[in-house]
Amino acid sequence: MPSSSRRSFLRHTGMSFAAGLAGGSLTLPAGAQPTPAARDADVAERILKQMGHPPEALRLKDGIARTKSRALGPFYRESAPFRGKASPPFAEGQALVVSGRVWAYDTRRPLPGALLDVWHVDHEGRYSDGDGDFRNRVRLIASESGAYEFESTHPVAYPASPEFWRSPHIHFICTSPGYDRLVSEMFFEGDPRHDTDALFHPALCVPVARETIRGQPLERAVFDIILVPESSARGG
């Protein structure tokens, strides 16, 4: 959905949540569309080849190869810890809280217990190696109302190659029984690097709210995720 539609959806979702608390239910707005998968699988493979890295760099551990619908790129690592804070204590960078809700596209209801895997770069544009160092990597379990939240620092832009810069983004994997596994990314509205990032998708862009708490600046972003039923359940 266009970024303006996503903003409207997020505002609508917030109002629906408040109304749902009062009425004892939560319902996805009728016009909401499934969250699109990130488009970077094939592009990342091409870039890696240009940089001299083999396509196998896109494979997960234990020999599980990515499929065309999975846009993991080369930096995903398994077994991130379950916790609510991704960045290390006293990490440099702008403090950021990301929250949202996981929804089912078919039932229009939240998906309690959905599993999220989240990762992003630090203030210097580096991913952790995931080998005992899980900086800026977390896993989360959605609440009974499909809600999730984590704290980290705002990721920065970084060069994937000399000719290709990535704008700031956060990677997500979201799974729930009976629904297609979603691999996607969240981008930040207004970042000047969107124009230089061939993988940027406006439908995945959310606004950033800024506030000050006890004299310290804090950013907040809301990213709701909408999953579709498994392909087999749809006859695909």
What DSSP line would sit under 6-54, residue for residue?
HHHHHHHHHHHHHHHHHHT-----TT--PPPPPSHHHHHHHHHHHTT--
Answer yes or no: is 204 within a domain.
Answer: yes
Written as one letter, the residue type at 56 is: E
Answer yes or no: is 185 within a domain.
Answer: yes
Report the alpha-carbon distance of residue 93 to residue 91 in Å, rounded.
6
pLDDT tens for the chain, 236 residues long, are 444 444 444 444 444 443 344 445 789 998 899 998 886 655 655 655 665 555 444 443 343 332 233 456 678 888 899 999 999 888 999 999 999 999 999 999 999 999 999 999 999 999 998 777 899 999 999 999 999 999 999 999 998 877 788 999 999 999 999 999 999 999 999 999 998 888 888 889 999 999 988 888 899 999 999 999 997 445 44
The domain that holds 127 is classified in CATH as 2.60.130.10
- Predicted local distance difference test score (pLDDT) of residue 75: 84
Answer yes or no: is 40 within a domain.
Answer: yes
DSSP state of 85: B
Answer yes or no: is 235 within a domain.
Answer: no
Residue 212, classed as helix, strand or coil, is strand
Answer yes or no: is 234 within a domain.
Answer: no
Pick from 160, 204, 179, 197: which is nearest to 53 by CA?
A: 160
Report the alpha-carbon distance of residue 20 to residue 165 in Å, rounded.
41
The domain of 132 spans 3-229
Answer yes or no: is 236 within a domain.
Answer: no
The pTM assigned to this predicted structure is 0.77
- Predicted local distance difference test score (pLDDT) of residue 151: 96
Number of domains composing the chain: 1
